[in-house]
Amino acid sequence: MRCLLQRVTSACVTVDGDIIGQTGPGLLVLACAMQDDTETNVDVMARKLVNLRIFQDATGKTNRSVLDVGGSVLIVSQFTLAADTSRGNRPGFSQAAAPDPGRRLYELLCEQVAALGVPVETGRFGADMQVSLVNDGPMTIWLEK
Contacts of 127 (CB under 8 A, 6+ apart): 15
From the candidates 23, 78, 112, 122, which is the catalytic residue? 78
Neighbours of 119 (CB within 10 A): 14
Question: Is-catalytic flag, 122?
Answer: no
Question: Is-catalytic flag, 125?
Answer: no
- Three-state secondary structure call for residue 47: helix
Question: Is-catalytic flag, 80?
Answer: yes
From the candidates 9, 80, 130, 140, which is the catalytic residue? 80
3-state helix, strand, coil split of the chain in percent (to 5) is 25, 40, 35
From the candidates 6, 23, 55, 79, which is the catalytic residue? 79
* Catalytic positions: 78-80
